[in-house]
Chains A and B, each alone.
Chain A
């Protein structure tokens, strides 16, 4: 508790505002309109066939879905990580189709939905800073665009459903090859029930320049969002992809179980930035993996601010000589939140390098867990990996844990690991306050300063947005 004067009054205000924290969530409204199609609750073979039929999919995809459904039923939920016992898979709507078909122009999007995306800033961002946009609303991508110059160069940026329709052979070649349905229970569920997500192909040597972005929005109560993203970067290609997420503030939770597979070919460079701001009743259980060939670079930038429970460990399989993997992540665990996040780096080839920088903050009883794996296989001579995990705990109710696993099978390799858990020191607070800055603002500055090494890698407008979200969360800090 604060020792800097005005104690009693300030504490009373703080405690009331902590319970109000949901009120600061600006994207918590829901849009009311008639869905084009809403499936019954729960998942079954019948439901999977229905989803596949509505999408008029090829037979092989239906077979994959049905097989995955069996795997989902057979597999147990993981016993490690967060508490998933409250997820009732029978209460979830697995398929919600908002519109008959996706809009090509912004004018085709219904006004209610348009207003939501405008609040999020999507159309403006598209005009100013993006090369292409997709907006997914519950189960379907409802709007998309791509600059003509990129389409002319052969860049493909489609919703996953559309991608399957137009490029079935490409999808068949890569789908589920990096994250097989048996990988984990949620990946199996995604494979059975997937809808939406992005399909991107960047041809040899093409630099996309400005980022491509997809915005994911869950609108309905108890909705499940199972987007499936597949990105293929051909040799020497360069892409920055951004995803953002939000959901309304419903009393009962939603489930977001995505699968993202990325193939980075020789000499290609990929950055994947996530700003996850789901409402605090969403279970966010995501599997993300990239395979990086010779001289390729995969960079995950992962900001997890929202959700009730997030379990996500973006991975790089460094398969070619001199392939590089980087993961920079921020996790914010506030009241009733558990961020169980981390990274996996698998070194298969010589001279591969990886870097993990993980920053977490826990506050108001929140729990931040770092869970990571560095594996250096026999033969990956000269492989190097550096792991830095910093945790900042803002009060005595909150918790931070670190579970690093290192499997080093090659002697000629190096691994550095640093883990620091810290609290905001009174000395730092006193210093900033002696410069006229209020205790509350001083705490915010220290927190933002702590996050700065990751924020500086995030595109400017997203860094501003993340700073804003952190400052909102800092409101009502007891210190």
Chain B
């Protein structure tokens, strides 16, 4: 029932994220050269493109990484312009990014961080409830208990780090999740249940997703609504699911 309602709202022209003519510089070098993109509520957008096309720059810019300078263009989230907002303000609006390379935070457990996150959003949470919730999600994602009591990402393998990002997404329940190559570093089994949990969250909460990936597998496991192709800082193609198969077969040659 809930799912149906959410699907319905998707068809009403209900845009969550609107990006207009976005130009971005890193250390004086232009990386994004005028990107337009719209993401509707509940929509799953696959962002594809060859290495160095600007996909990670795009997600870092959305999250407000200060190394990425917007020189032109606008980003609107739920109608609000967020160009000048700090990362925490953006997060508290409901934007989440699963990092491609999550850093470690020695001495801070994922639970402690999530409690601080939830309290920053003004949620009244009990430490014990968060603990239970984290343990439950960890079980779903096959994350060992010992990882929960360690400092975040401290000595984690590549796959463990990626799963920990998904755990945070599940607990924080954002409106928009940007997954920056979350599938790389995951083995087949892990990829399967990460994709399953992602799809479940999309259906249950109506979360929108920008899915950055190089691999067909992830895209076959998650229901994708729209595919966009980024090359040398520009969106060069746009399409439905069929584009995924085509890119899988022919690569990015045709955009040369």
A positions within 8 Å CB-CB of B: 3-6, 425-428, 430-439, 441-442, 445-446, 448-453
A432 vs B65: C-alpha distance when bound (angstroms): 11
B172 contact set on A, CB distance < 8 A: 435-436
B86 beta carbon closer than 8 Å to chain A: yes
Q: How far is the CA of A425 from the CA of B96 in the complex (A)?
A: 20
Q: How would residues 121 to 148 of chain B score, 1 for a CB under 8 Å from any chain A CB and 0 otherwise?
A: 1000000000000000000000000000
Cβ contact within 8 Å between A4 and B103: no
Query: For the complex, what is the distance from the CA of A132 to the CA of B63, rounded to whole Å?
Result: 54
Docked-complex contact A436 and B121, CB < 8 angstroms: yes
- The answer on a CB contact under 8 Å between B108 and A448 is yes
Q: Do A430 and B120 touch (CB < 8 A)? A: no
**What are 13 pairs between A and B in contact, CB < 8 Å?**
A4-B86, A5-B89, A430-B66, A430-B87, A431-B99, A433-B91, A435-B113, A435-B168, A435-B172, A436-B91, A438-B88, A438-B120, A439-B88
User: Chain A residue with minimal CB distance to B95?
Assistant: A434
Q: When the two chains form their complex, are residues A449 and B151 in contact, meaning their CB atoms are under 8 A apart? A: yes
A451 contacts across to B, CB distance below 8 A: 107
Q: Decide yes or no: A449 and B107 within 8 Å by CB, A434-B63, A437-B116, A437-B120 being known contacts.
A: yes
- List CB contacts (< 8 Å) of B86-104 with chain A: 86-92, 96-97, 99, 102-103
Which B29-70 residues have a C-beta within 8 angstroms of A? 63-67
User: Could you tell me the distance in whole angstroms from the C-beta of A416 to the nearest C-beta in chain B?
Assistant: 19
CB distance from A330 to the nearest CB of B (A): 12
Task: Give the residue name and chain of the A residue nearest to B151 (CB).
Answer: A449
Dominant secondary structure of chain A at its interface with chain B: helix
7 cross-chain pairs, A with B, having the tightest CB-CB distances, nearest first: A449-B107, A452-B107, A436-B91, A5-B86, A433-B87, A449-B108, A3-B66
Q: Do A5 and B107 touch (CB < 8 A)?
A: no
Query: Are B64 and A5 touching (Cβ within 8 A)?
Result: yes
Do A437 and B117 form a contact, CB below 8 Å, given A425-B103, A431-B105, A448-B107?
Answer: yes
Residues of B within 8 A of A445 (CB): 105, 108, 112-113, 116
Q: Which residue of A lies closest to B92 (CB)?
A: A436
Q: Is the CB of A449 within 8 A of B86?
A: no
B125 → A minimal CB distance (Å): 12
Minimum CB–CB distance from A390 to chain B (whole Å) comes to 9
User: Which residues of B are at the interface with A, using a C-beta cutoff of 8 A?
Assistant: 63-67, 84-92, 96-97, 99, 102-103, 105-108, 112-114, 116-117, 120-121, 151, 168, 172
How many angstroms between the C-alpha atoms of A425 and B85 in the bound complex? 20
Which chain B positions have C-beta within 8 A of A439? 86, 88
Do A437 and B113 have beta carbons less than 8 Å apart? yes
CA of A242 to CA of B97 in the docked complex: distance in angstroms?
45
Known: A5-B66, A437-B113, A445-B116. 19 other contacts (CB 8 A): A3-B66, A4-B88, A5-B64, A5-B89, A6-B86, A426-B67, A432-B113, A432-B116, A433-B88, A435-B117, A436-B120, A437-B116, A437-B120, A442-B88, A445-B113, A448-B107, A450-B106, A451-B107, A452-B107
Q: Chain B nearest CB: distance from A450 CB in Å?
A: 6
Quote the shortest CB–CB distance from B42 to chain A (angstroms).
Answer: 22
Tell me the minimal C-beta distance from B83 to chain A in angstroms: 10
Contacting pair B120 A453 (CB below 8 A):
no
Contact A4 B102 (CB under 8 A): no
Q: A430-B65, A445-B112, A449-B108 are in contact. Are A436 and B103 (CB under 8 A)?
A: no
